[in-house]
Amino acid sequence: MSLYLQMLGTGGAFAKQYFNNNGLLFADRFTLLIDCGITAPLALHQIGKPMKDIDAVLITHIHGDHVGGLEEYAFRMKYGHGRKPVLYVPELLAEPLWEHTLKGGLGQDGIESLEDAFDVRPLREGQAVELAPGLSLEIIRTPHIPGKNSYSLYLNDEIFYSADMIFQPELLEELVYRRGCRKILHEVQLTGPGQVHTTLEELLSLPADIREKISLMHYGDEMESYIGQTKEMDFLRQHEMYEL
């Protein structure tokens, strides 16, 4: 079975033109929303995708451009459709997601925990989980902000979807050379030092046979000026559909 990806946005945290880096992953009749940032509800509206048609949402880490739309999503599903949406969340993120991000907005009579708002499905590192027929997922902890957990995704044991992360060449080499990874969807910071992100310069230092597997996302609004400067790597585009 083929997987398809439609990015709701492809921009970094401060990008305005390209929206937050969130995507819809389609496996036959199953639709997974990867991250639900501030711009996700608007992006879903623009492409004509009702929230009720999303089967589950998964978050990679707790930053506004990845979880800022969860409050609206939960409220719309509760009051508009009478059900709790399925939430896949790395187990170490569940408590801080509620206590430090969602409690202030969602907390009220009847919603006093993450489980009151969502059908919570915890994920553990190193354990592949079948989300639907033809779609398995493994979370891989990757460094982003010191002291805060962030998790990249390995789909069907062959596709790497990066969270926001500091450059990890050894991980990419392991995935490609030892685990048979054939496609890499990787965040990129086009300008400035890569203190908490992977820079284009760093990705360009990878061997050509790894670069040719990479599509770039989570970039700034200056992306158009970098076309032709990424060697074998291409840019994912907002709202376009890709077969993985």
What's the confidence (pLDDT) of residue 214? 98
Domain that holds residue 100: 3-161+235-243
pLDDT over 90 at 130, yes or no: yes
What's the confidence (pLDDT) of residue 150? 98
Q: Which residues, listed in sequence order, are joined to residue 136 by a DSSP beta bridge?
A: 130
Instruction: With respect to residue 184, please indicate whether it lies within any of the assigned structural domains.
Output: no
Q: Are 218 and 188 in contact (CB under 8 A)?
A: yes
pTM of the predicted structure, to 2 decimals? 0.97
pLDDT over 90 at 47, yes or no: yes
Mean of pLDDT values over 145-160? 97
Helix (H/G/I), strand (E/B), else coil: 38: coil
Q: What is the CATH number of the domain that holds 156?
A: 3.60.15.10
Instruction: With respect to residue 127, please indicate whether it lies within any of the assigned structural domains.
Output: yes
For the segment 214-236, what is each residue's pLDDT rounded down to a tens digit?
999 999 999 999 999 999 999 99
H helices then E strands: how many in the chain? 10, 14
